[in-house]
Amino acid sequence: MTKPSVLVTGASSGIGAATASLLLDRGWRVFAAARRLEPMAALEAQGAELFKLDLSNNQSRSALATELQSRVGALDALVNNAGFGEVGPLETMELERARAIFEVNVFGLMGLTQLLVPAMRQRGCGRIVNVSSIAGRWV
């Protein structure tokens, strides 16, 4: 019997790292992805397979999706955890910075999910967990 497979984005720290570690402990085959590989060394030592991923880059998303498909076909789960934000008044945030946030947190998440869902749909199963921020509750 093969281990269930999961991709955890934003696995270099915080909730992503903790999620990847927990899933490894529970016997999952974990693909851990983040912009920087070095902070995921502990996950690699625990058994995770590491990938560099820039969610704002189409080529980076496509390369990861292609690699995952060649390794497992369809994932059993996708944990969309990667993201970032900034705190400050609207009047001082540069529009380019706001666009960068949306590029990662919205369009990057959507783009990666769109690449991985067809294999899940074809197999007839799979789970997607989208991790959000409490910042969405602040006004």
* Domains, the chain: 5-134 (3.40.50.720)
pTM, rounded to two decimals: 0.94
What percent of the chain is modeled with pLDDT above 90? 88
Q: Does residue 136 have a pLDDT over 80?
A: no
Q: Which residues contact 123 (CB under 8 A, 6 or more apart)?
A: 73, 74
3-state secondary structure of 54: coil
Max Cα separation, the chain?
56
Dump pLDDT digits (tens) for 5-45.
999 999 999 999 999 999 999 999 999 999 999 999 999 99
Dump pLDDT digits (tens) for 26-37.
999 999 999 999
CB 15 within 8 A of CB 84: no
- The pLDDT of residue 63 is 98
Rounded Cα gap, residues 92 and 76, in angstroms: 42
- The pLDDT of residue 113 is 98
Mean pLDDT of 99-116: 96
Cα→Cα distances 90→94, 101, 109, Å: 8, 13, 23
Cβ burial, residue 139 (10 Å; 0-12/13-18/19+): exposed
